[in-house]
Amino acid sequence: MSDVERLFICSVHRFPMEEVEPAEAVADKGFRECIHGRPGSKRQVSMIAAETLESLGAEPGWVKENTTTRGLDMKQLHPGQRLRIGEALLEVAVPCNPCPRMDEIRQGLQEELRGQRGWLCRVVETGQVRRGDAIEILNLEPETKSIEHKIPGSKTVGRHHHGIRYGSAGDDGSSKDAGIIRHRV
């Protein structure tokens, strides 16, 4: 079981995060009154595991996260997955890469956080989020779309959506390594 441990907003750049209870997640914006969230941005709500902070000797809110979670395995999340947190619906967007400002908090913290800084999410549905709210992963595998580019003179073999694949079918139906470039979006 994973849940929300702490909630924060940033009212002024480069100042400490302000703890809030509850937080209102606003669709395509982020937490109400947090200056980090912007319409159309992938960085509307950031989240990090409390377990990561504890292993680094960092306090919740220090690394400028909006949401500190407990019990959520961040390494199991993927872009496109949707999370129901309280009344809000979030979509995992991109990994949160630690910025040089982390070294202003504690020298070396940027490097210590590399690969474990958590995720940036978009807000899909507005709703209240409170400490103790369960975090439910709604789709275990992210939704993917397939894009297919046909190179003139080749025949399509079929669709593929698990990365990049090259291939074509010859006039006799045999498979060859040229012709179609497919990639995940």
CA–CA–CA angle 11, 14, 121 (5° rounding): 65
Q: Which amino acid is at 110?
A: Q
- Model confidence over 58-84: pLDDT tens digits? 999 989 999 999 999 999 999 999 999
Query: Is the model's pLDDT at 179 over the cut of 50?
Result: no
pLDDT band of 91, cuts 50, 70, 90: very high
Which of 61, 57, 83 is closest to 3 using CA atoms? 83
The per-residue pLDDT for 55 is 94
Sign for the CA dihedral angle at 117, 122, 123, 124 comes to: negative
CA atoms within 13 A on the CB side of 21: 8
Q: Which fold has domain 3-137?
A: M1 Pyruvate Kinase; Domain 3 (2.40.33)
pLDDT band of 9, cuts 50, 70, 90: very high
Average pLDDT, the chain: 81
Q: Among 20-29, 74-83, 93-102, 176-185, name the one with the lowest average pLDDT.
A: 176-185
DSSP code string of the chain: --EEEEEEE-SSTTSPPEE-SSEEEETTTEETT-TT--TT-S-SEEEEEHHHHHHHT--TTTT--SEEEES--GGG--TT-EEEETTEEEEEEEE-PPPTTHHHHSTTHHHHHTT-S-EEEEEEE-EEE-TT-BEEES-SS----EEEEEPTT-B------SS-EEEEE-TTS-EEEEEEEEEE-
Domain ranges of the chain: 3-137, 146-184
What average pLDDT does the segment 52-57 reach? Answer: 94
Percent of the chain with pLDDT over 90: 63
Burial 168-178 (b: 16+ CB within 10 A, else e): bbeeeeeeeee
Distance CA 80, CA 139 (A): 9
Q: Residue 137 has which token pair?
A: 């992963």
Distances (CA, A) of 115 to 21, 53, 92, 93: 29, 13, 16, 15
What average pLDDT does the segment 105-129 reach? Answer: 93
